[in-house]
Amino acid sequence: MMIQIYLIVFNYTISLSKYHDLVLSICLMDNSISMLSTNILELRDALGLSQKDFALLANISRTTLGNIESGRNNFKISSLDGILNFTSIKLEDLSKESFTPPKNLRERLMEKYKIEPSVFVILNEEPSIPYCIKYKLLKTNFLDLPKETNQIIKFFNDKYGWTLKGNSLHAALKRMSDLIEIQPHPNKQSTNLYSRRKLV
C-alpha cells in the first residue's frame, strides 16, 4: 500500500503525488537553475552521450533537454525525473555547486543496464568527444607535453579504437579553455598544439 506524503500549505492538505512539480520547485528554490543546467550538461559529458541519446534514455524530448541545459525556465521541473531515474542521482546532489559526476558513471550504468539491450546498445556506442577528452585523455599524462590534433586522434584510435574527426576534436578542445591550452605550432603553419592547462 502506497504511503501518501502530505504538505500543509495555507492550511490545505496537498498530496505529494498530485503536486509533484510544486514539491520539486521548493527543493530547487535555494539553488539557481543555471547551476542545475551546468551540472546536467556535465553529467551528460560524463556519460559520453549526445543530447539526442541522453534525452532518449531519460525519456524526455530533445527540446526539453535543450531547455534544461541552456538554463531556460520554460520546462516542467518533473522533466528532471527521467534524468534522475536513469542515472540514479538525487536531485539534491545534482543541484549542488560542488556536484561532480560519480566516478566511472558510464561504465557503472553499462553494467546496470546490460540486461536491457535498447539502453545498453546506446551506452556502448562510441562516446562523445567531451567525454573522450575529460574522462579519458585528461586522466592520463598524454597532454603534459603539447600534441598535435593527429597525435591525439591516434591516441584514441590506438587505445580505445575510437575514430575522432580532426575538426570536431579541435572545436571541442577549443571550448575547453579552462582545461586545455592551445598554442600555434612553432614550425607548421595553420597547426595548433594542445596541452593540459597548468593549474595556477
CA atoms of 12 and 6, how far apart (whole Å): 10
Q: Are 95 and 11 in contact (CB under 8 A)?
A: no
Strand partners for 196: 180
Burial class (CB in 10 A: 0-12, 13-18, 19+), 57: buried
Cell of 140: 592520463
**pLDDT class for 78, splitting at 50, 70, 90?**
confident
* Per-residue confidence (pLDDT) for residue 191, from 0 to 100: 92
* Per-residue confidence (pLDDT) for residue 12, from 0 to 100: 33
**25 contacts: CB under 8 Å, gap ≥ 6:** 77
pLDDT tens string 10-56: 333 334 444 444 444 444 444 467 788 899 999 999 999 999 999 99
CA atoms of 115 and 159, how far apart (whole Å): 27
Low-confidence winner among 1-10, 74-83, 174-183 (lowest mean pLDDT): 1-10
* Per-residue confidence (pLDDT) for residue 62, from 0 to 100: 93
